[in-house]
């Protein structure tokens, strides 16, 4: 089946073989072990024990014996979404290449390359795709995935009772893969986005249009929360084991109260079909995004203007931190709210408005849910000491501005070898095309410490141990000082073509 979306994105990865035994109890049924000797006597136990077991059984939470009542309530609000789009010919496609509906280099383009997409023949053509969605208002607003309707020339939805309607795309958000569409009409059945976060182990129902079979219901549980599958900077997926297949994209996952806890958007699948691992965008994210799409057709996010990275155990050790937590500021961007607030490279952001930050990704998600113009208080570790700063969020730029590093021509006469760390260095001022500050890596030893930790020829070392460096001697001095202080690693701040980052190199015998 051709299409803009043949269903949830399939993650091509290693096959996992899992052996499991499941015992499911519905309707509050309980299994009790009889006391020793009870089977011979035909009794469960003493009257007091029997009464205690009965009381305990009555206290167990009652769950539905089946899901028919819930399905009858929510299924009319779920729709099938079909799209048409014209695709120009592409003579570069071959039998092994994948058709990917996202801009080259985007997070979802990289994600889709791990999913396996249908091959598209060469030559101009009209292709069709299908997915799922659900009404959230009686006047026809519905939610689906961005990758279902992206670039669609026309969108048509089919309701549970078989009626067809043309739909208009109100707005999309590629960063979260959500879209809001609108059908003209009124009195449509609709469902509510959940106000609470589901627990791992809670029952869930997925309803959608797998393989074009509209109105399909599957059941399972919440398998995990907070999953990061590498789709984008705001990954926070709910993992479910309710079977989800091609065509389920954009469809809802319900709790046993009939509220939508997530929007199905991706599956893990070595084979192309469901293997019991699916991912849904949480309702809290959907609420925030949909509200903005309905109000203005696009999504704006808060921005503090820092390049951040995780605090690894090695980095924590080199900085003298008690634990590896928070988001390490590699570099504040010029004229950003962070720079204006005095945040500097090497600061570790540990909290937002008094709530701790676990890692760099959690910081990005938390700031991204806030509106530009919001005032926030950030907790920092600055030069080894706690500090708080207050700033006003800016607006996240639409496109990430990549630094274009000039080609660096090495002046081998300036190289100074640092064999124990596995690289050769030269002052940046002596290397053609390099910046005036820092020390340039002019050579990397295969299998050395620097190579193992991702340093490359052309990288510019800006700081060592928190101090600026201008010569290879400064680098050696920084390493020696770290050893003298009893540290097991030394922290380098390095600038490359991908931006600025911190790298913790183990000292060993360096």
| Residues annotated as part of the active site | 147, 177, 249
Both tokens of residue 222? 């919440």
Q: How many residues does the chain have?
A: 510
Task: Kindly state the helix (H) or strand (E) to which residue 425 belongs, with its residue range.
Answer: strand 423-427
Instruction: State how far the alpha carbon of 319 is from the alpha carbons of 352, 484, 489, in Å.
Output: 21, 14, 9
Both tokens of residue 147? 């990758």
- Radius of gyration of the chain from its Cα atoms, rounded to whole angstroms: 28
Q: How far is CA 77 from the centre of its chain?
A: 28
Asked whether 12 and 114 are in contact (CB, 8 A), the reply is yes
Q: Which residues lie closer than 8 Å to 374 by C-beta, 6 or more apart?
A: 302, 392, 393
Mark 369-392 as b/e (b = at least 16 C-beta within 10 Å): bbeeeeebebbbbbeeeeeebebe
Both tokens of residue 9? 């994105």
Asked whether 339 and 347 are in contact (CB, 8 A), the reply is no
Q: DSSP E strands: which ranges in 234-311?
A: 237-240, 252-254, 260-268, 278-282, 302-303, 306-310
Asked whether 146 and 177 are in contact (CB, 8 A), the reply is yes
Strand partners, 307: 331
Say if strands 178-183 and 203-208 run parallel, antiparallel, or are unpaired.
unpaired
Alpha-carbon torsion (319, 322, 323, 326), positive or negative: negative
Closest CA to 328 of 341, 313, 315, 314: 315
Asked whether 399 and 352 are in contact (CB, 8 A), the reply is no
Beta-carbon neighbour count of residue 36 at 10 Å? 8
Task: Kindly state the helix (H) or strand (E) to which residue 296 belongs, with its residue range.
Answer: helix 283-296
Mark 38-54 as b/e (b = at least 16 C-beta within 10 Å): eeeeeeebeeeeeeeee
| CA 321 – CA 335 distance, rounded (Å) | 29
Question: Tokens 């791990």 — which residue?
Answer: 114
Q: How far is CA 264 from the centre of its chain?
A: 14
Asked whether 234 and 178 are in contact (CB, 8 A), the reply is no
Closest CA to 215 of 252, 190, 241: 252
């Amino acid at each position: 089946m051709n299409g803009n979306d043949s269903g949830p994105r399939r993650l091509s990865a290693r096959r996992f073989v899992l052996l499991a035994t499941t015992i499911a109890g519905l309707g509050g049924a309980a299994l009790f072990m009889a006391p020793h000797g009870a089977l011979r006597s035909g009794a469960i136990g003493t009257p007091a024990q029997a009464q205690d077991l009965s009381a305990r059984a009555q206290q167990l939470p009652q769950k539905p014996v089946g899901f028919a009542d819930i399905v009858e309530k929510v299924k009319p609000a779920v729709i099938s979404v079909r799209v048409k789009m014209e695709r120009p010919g592409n003579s570069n496609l071959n039998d092994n290449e994948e058709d990917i509906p996202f801009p080259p280099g985007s997070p979802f383009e990289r994600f889709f390359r791990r999913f396996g997409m249908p091959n598209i023949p060469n030559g101009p053509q009209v292709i069709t795709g299908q997915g799922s969605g659900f009404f959230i208002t009686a006047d026809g607003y519905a939610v689906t995935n961005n990758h279902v309707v992206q670039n669609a020339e026309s969108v048509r939805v089919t309701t549970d009772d078989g009626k067809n309607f043309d739909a208009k795309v109100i707005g999309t958000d590629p960063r979260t893969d959500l879209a809001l569409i609108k059908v003209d009409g009124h009195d449509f059945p609709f469902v509510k986005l959940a106000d609470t976060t589901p627990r791992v182990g809670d029952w869930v129902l997925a309803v959608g249009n797998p393989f074009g079979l509209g109105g399909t219901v599957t059941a399972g549980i919440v398998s995990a929360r907070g999953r990061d599958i590498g789709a984008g900077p705001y990954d926070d997926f709910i993992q479910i084991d309710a079977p989800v297949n091609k065509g389920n994209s954009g469809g809802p996952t319900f709790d046993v109260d009939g509220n939508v806890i997530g929007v199905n958007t991706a599956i893990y699948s070595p084979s192309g079909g469901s293997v019991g691992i699916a991912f849904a965008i949480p309702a809290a994210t959907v609420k925030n995004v949909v509200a903005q799409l309905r109000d203005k057709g696009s999504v704006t996010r808060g921005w503090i203007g820092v390049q951040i990275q995780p605090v690894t155990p090695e980095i924590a050790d080199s900085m003298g931190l008690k634990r590896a937590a928070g988001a390490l500021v590699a570099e504040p961007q010029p004229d950003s709210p962070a720079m204006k607030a005095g945040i500097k490279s090497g600061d570790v952001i540990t909290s937002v408005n008094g709530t701790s930050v676990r890692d760099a990704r959690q910081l990005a998600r938390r700031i991204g849910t806030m509106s530009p113009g919001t005032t926030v208080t950030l907790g920092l570790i600055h030069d080894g000491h706690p500090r708080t700063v207050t700033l006003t969020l800016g607006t996240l730029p639409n496109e990430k501005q990549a630094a274009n590093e000039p080609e660096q021509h090495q002046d081998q006469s300036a190289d100074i070898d640092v064999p124990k760390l596995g690289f050769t260095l030269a002052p940046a001022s002596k290397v053609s095309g390099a910046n005036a500050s820092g020390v340039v890596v002019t050579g990397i030893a295969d299998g050395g410490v620097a190579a193992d930790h991702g340093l490359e020829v052309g990288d510019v070392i800006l700081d060592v141990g928190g101090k600026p460096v201008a010569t290879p001697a400064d680098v050696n001095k920084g390493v020696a000082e770290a050893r003298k202080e009893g540290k097991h690693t030394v922290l380098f701040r390095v600038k490359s073509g991908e931006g600025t980052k911190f790298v913790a190199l183990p000292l060993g015998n360096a």
